[in-house]
Chains A and B, each alone.
Chain A
Amino acid sequence: MFQFKLQLSEDDDSNGVATCAKFSPDGSRVAVVKGTVVLIWELEGDGTPLIITTSHIRPISDVCWSPDGQCVATASDDFSIETTHLEYGSLHRFMGHTAPVVSLCFNDKGNLLFSSSMDESIKIWDVLNGSVMRTVAAHSESVVSIDIPADDSTIVCSGSYDGLIRVFDTASGHCLKTLTYDKDWKSENGVVPITQVKCSRNGRYLVVKSLDGIVKLWDCIRGYVVRTFKVESDEVRNLQRSCGMDLLYPESGLPPVVVSGYELGQIYCWDSADKRLVQLLEGERHRGSPIMSIHCHGNLMCSLSLDGECNLWEWKQSA
């Protein structure tokens, strides 16, 4: 069960909308995006964040730590990406997308940066030189989420508003596999847009959240759904945004937990092995504000809501 641990709050609201919060690779810091700035909180610190100002002129929608924890990359609505070193400042500005950039991830070596955009493409960037290496025409709608498995950088997975989930080869940029929901998922209004994808650590499975609030776990080698996690109430389920989703791998070695946020600040947690709802965090802590991002590291989970409230939770195994 999650127990509330810490609130990372900042009194000054002038920075803008909170969109994304991510743990650093060593778990000691959290980067929180507000408008065009990134706040870096030390978990053991004195409660004042390091403020990183970027050269973005429109709000940032995603932030990503480099694997060595020294840099953050930010994706913005101004069509650009920037890498910023926490000490040295801005390193590169990556220009090339023709629409807002929405999702980012590094490979495990930290030499390649992957970005997805509303221009329907995925771009692969050379981090050292700041140049684009490859553009992949990935989908026929905004590519809203990409992810690379923690232990296997040979594939990158993407989810799009066109309702497709694709797996690409990172070296060649070729599409290796496409996953779609079955016929019964085709509603009258067309396909269900995908809002977030998250690879399992070993790269064999893929957790996918769609705009109807349902989370599915795919076997991405064989290409079918192996688990479905469904919120019972239709009211909760209907989403306007992604509302965040991640996998928590309890350090005790027990089955991973699927953590998913919803519009009124609720967070649902399911056991990935038996699909049991293990915990429902009602939206009080987030004052009913929509969850924007969920990120897990070790036994910690960080939830961020639209009003800028960022909460840390610790997973404790219930007896």
Chain B
Amino acid sequence: MTNLLLQDPFAVLKEYPDKLTHILENPLHTGCLQFSPRGDYLALGCANGGVVVYDMDTHRPILFLGSKMGAHMRSVQSVAWSECGRFILSAGRDWSVKLWDLSCPEQPLKQVQLESPVWNCQWIDSNAGSCIATAVEEERAFLINFQNNLTIIPLLPSEELESPQNQGYVLTSSVHSKNRQIVITGTSKGWVNFYRIDSELKFTLIKSLKIANSNIKHLVVSQDGEKLAINSSDRIIRQYSLKIPGAIDTVELESEHKYQDVINRLQWNSIFFSGKSADYLVASTNGSSAHELYMWETSSGTLVRVLEGAEEELMDIDWNFYNMCIASNGLESGDVYVWSIVTVPKWSALAPDFEEVEENIDYQEKEDEFDHVDEQEQQQEIDQVEEVEIDLRTRERYDVRGNDLLLTRFTIPTDYERILVMKEATGAVDERNGES
């Protein structure tokens, strides 16, 4: 990421995006969204059951999943990219969870049918093809294994750990970002359950606690795995520090902050942590009166920034740390708003001898500035520079923001047939126009 090395370091190292830079129009009405792991693409789950992938270089749609057959029949509730960027998981109100391979996206690779509309699906181990899904009015979440024989295993409460039987319906689930063995579910009566998933999808309930009296809407674990934020319909976002002892037989939670809008008493639609050690938490507000994303500092719990620019209520949020973009979809238009870091062009970059200064500097001649330089000395200096070892091959392991650059990147194949079809279509239109 050589460009980051040459840009203004103060702009590059900003910790969060602050300007609305793009609005991705989506006539299919976006319901949920997620960036690909490296931030190259953005997948949108749509109200008509479509899943559209946008290219973040051109900001245009490049792919419609299930263009031949097998698309969702009803609105898509959740999309999730695999770690390698090649597979997408989608869940819809048509009761199904589908697995897509982006190298042949015309139809789903595999799919399963649950017994009610699916709220949410998340990868547990994308290499092993296991995921977790939650469905409407189900008292348990489901583990799904897409490999070999498709299996669906309901996550039952365990007998060892005492937990009241009536926890309500499971509404949401989350997988620990560092320790993928740990799965967290949240229920309609305010219960949060922690499961440990062993190989072959054997599971153990390791902790169960009630944190609120109403629906748990979202569970978000920070990138470093040390913070957990819980969004509940009692209008409070609770932030906990999260510790897992080595044996993974329990988890330790400690309440850190509660975020709420004390004036308007708004609910929060969605929440998301910033990267690395999760210094910030961003949330979208419920209700037509607020059109912003709120951002708090997680160490102090203070509101630090309001991301403005959208002109409607915002729903789902995703934040990619490679391209430093936050995307959120609007409730009414279904378009997607993208905030990113704007770097100002430096005019001094156009000439190597220029330097940009904040204020006027009185020129003072340096002692050796106009000294006659001995030609031989100069040559020696040049020779010295030319003996320094250089490496033309090796890539950086991390970019300046600390993101791992060795994470695999999958490039979606160019759809040449689509180019030809589009060309034919526009050609036909041109011809017709020519005739009339």
Contact = CB atoms under 8 A, between A and B. Distances in A.
B351 A178 contact: yes
B393 A200 contact: yes
Contacts of A205: 390, 392
Interface stretch (B57-65, B139-147, B165-173, B226-234): B57-65
B6 A177 contact: yes
B414 A68 contact: yes
Contacts of A177: 6, 349, 352
A253 to B, nearest CB: 8
A126 B58 CA distance: 7
Interface stretch (B178-186, B239-247, B418-426): B418-426
A133 B343 CA distance: 18
Interface string A249-266: 100000110000000000
Nearest to A253: B393
Contact of A174 (B55, B343, B391, B422): B343
A43 interface: no
A91 B1 CA distance: 31
B420 A68 contact: no
Interface in A199-243: 200-205, 217, 219-221, 223-228
Contacts of B6: 155, 167, 169, 176-177, 221
B57 A112 contact: yes
Interface of A is mostly: loop
Contacts of A167: 2, 6
Contacts of A66: 414
Interface in A54-111: 66-68, 70-71, 85, 88, 91-92, 107-111
Interface residues of B, number: 43
Name the residue in B2, B40, B346, B416 with the highest tally of chain A Cβ atoms < 10 Å from its Cβ: B2
Contact of B57 (A111, A151, A179, A275): A111
Name the residue in A85, A109, A110, A170 with the highest tally of chain B Cβ atoms < 10 Å from its Cβ: A109
A126 B61 CA distance: 12
Name the residue in A111, A112, A226, A256 with the highest tally of chain B Cβ atoms < 10 Å from its Cβ: A111
B148 interface: no
Interface stretch (B259-267, B293-301, B381-389): B381-389
Given A128-B418, A176-B3, 15 more contacts: A66-B414, A91-B419, A111-B57, A128-B419, A154-B3, A155-B2, A174-B345, A202-B393, A205-B390, A221-B6, A225-B386, A226-B385, A227-B390, A249-B392, A273-B389
Interface of A: 66-68, 70-71, 85, 88, 91-92, 107-112, 126-130, 133, 149, 151-152, 154-155, 166-167, 169-172, 174-180, 200-205, 217, 219-221, 223-228, 247, 249, 255-256, 272-273, 275
